[in-house]
Chains A and B, each alone.
Chain A
């Protein structure tokens, strides 16, 4: 059974930093591209960032480019999202999501339960 378990969310002040982690199981992690998708309270879904199966290619939404860094450690079976210079508008539930291919850029067949990031003074 495929599972994606996010962690690392919490309350952080504007300008602060946070690192999210996602621990996948039930599939060969290195064979698939992965992504982070967020959902602000009461709002819709927003794609944030993706990383290819090899980790060689990363992609970011304009809203987080230069502030967020996606990475993966296939030896530790973990996906990360390093978030810096956090703003109020980054407040959201952050979901780890699995693409159906190695290269990514397609649809998501599995999602984690999400971790809440609250940016507030």
Chain B
């Protein structure tokens, strides 16, 4: 199984400041034949289901604000919120889909307002 490790577990950021969340995979999720990283990011607000933010490590889902961006390749990835808004308070999860059995998620990073 590919183990996904997120850091930090939680972070508190002031409104308008940058939030950075890291995700490491236990093996590369970069498929060499198409040069794509098989990694997605989700946002889960309290009491709600997860919502897709980013796929292929850096492609923003339609309707997702451009303050959210994904970067990285191979085994190390980052989700950045460039200017934190109050509505961004949530838990964020990364997920690899390089190995479909099993699909695995990171443990989550809780983002709060400082």
Contacts and interface: CB of A to CB of B under 8 A. Distances in A.
Most chain B beta-carbon neighbours within 10 Å: one of A61, A107, A112: A107
B61 interface: yes
Contacts, number: 56
Contact of A106 (B42, B49, B97): B97
B50 interface: yes
Nearest to B95: A107
A105 B50 contact: no
B100 interface: yes
A28 B90 CA distance: 31
Nearest to B50: A111
A54 interface: no
Nearest to B101: A59
Contacts of A47: 102-105
Given A44-B107, A45-B93, A107 B100 contact: no
Interface string A56-68: 0001011000000
Interface residues of A, number: 22
Interface string A12-42: 0000000000000000000000010000000
A95, A100, A110, A111: residue with the most chain B Cβ atoms closer than 10 Å? A111
B61 A95 contact: no
B52 to A, nearest CB: 5
A62 B102 contact: yes
A105 B49 contact: no
Contact of A107 (B40, B102, B108): B40
Contacts of B38: 106
Interface of B: 38, 40, 42, 48-52, 55, 61, 93, 95, 97, 100-108
